[in-house]
Amino acid sequence: MRSTIPYKGHIISFTFYKHSLKPTIIMLHGFLASTYCFRKLIPLLQENFQIMSIDIPPFGESEKSNTCLFSYDHMADAVRYIMKDQSIDKAIFLGHSMGGQISLRFAYKYPDHIDRLYLLAPCSFMRHSPLFAKAICHNPLSPFIARSLLKRKGVYEMLRHSIYQDHIITDEMLEHYKKPFLNKKIYPCIIKILNDHQGDLSEEELTTIDIPTNILWGKNDEIIPYEIGYELIKYLPNATLTTLDKTGHLLPEESAHHIAKMVRQANS
């Protein structure tokens, strides 16, 4: 089920639960996460869909090379490349956080190859900052600073700020979320991601996306405030927003059953 594919310097890892007679869902995770975050959701949808979950480079099992491009455009192109390789013409996209913005970018670039959007607390309205990117990228100490910050803050604290219900954080979760950061190669890649960040889609670009879109947001999101969702639906002409009480940013971990119900109902 897990495969890899080379794309413009990247070796991209993905899992594909094939069932050619069913519609395809492509799942894209958020910053610092991996396909692991969808482990609760995938079994709830496998009966009705074939599912592809991609480790967005440099996260998860994908290669960690800081000589590659990490822009949203590049990642959207990579997803389209994988779709072609797997003979997928159209798919439903489900993206969390950064994966939500990549999904929007895909919808903007390839509207004929996407059926529907499910956005879970998607990154939105962040602008490109050339001066910040230049300062970060050209500081030789930046990878060490990134590593130090992550080490000091710790994976548990990162998860605690991303999840409202602390009790669901297990030792197994901590091990999986910690695993990519044991590889020192990831830290220069994180700096490269910040440098390559081109900004989120503009309000004008968002208005061109008329694909049916369901947005889900936790009201206790400490990473990206749910109020941004109300701004987002002003510019997406065919979007609805649902907010969840007592739910944080990491929706696939906290609200897998709610997400699955939303997807099944919208595609029934």
What is the set of active-site residues? 97, 249
User: Is the bond preceding 180 in cis, omega lying within 30 degrees of 0?
Assistant: no
Burial per residue of 92-128, b for 16 or more beta-carbon CB atoms within 10 angstroms, e otherwise: bbbbbbbbbbbbbbbbbeeeebbebbbbbbbbbbeee
Q: SS3 of 27, please? A: strand
- Smallest CA-to-CA distance from 44 within 265, 203, 225, 243 is with 265
| DSSP bridge partners of 213 | 117, 239
- Smallest CA-to-CA distance from 56 within 41, 43, 37, 84 is with 37
- CA–CA–CA angle 236, 240, 245 (5° rounding): 130
Tokens coding 217: 């947001």
Q: Up-side HSE of residue 126: CA atoms within 13 Å toward CB?
A: 19
Q: Where are the alpha helices (DSSP H) in 63-199?
A: 72-85, 98-109, 130-137, 142-162, 171-178, 186-196
Is-contact 2 61, C-beta < 8 A? yes
The amino acid at residue 231 is E
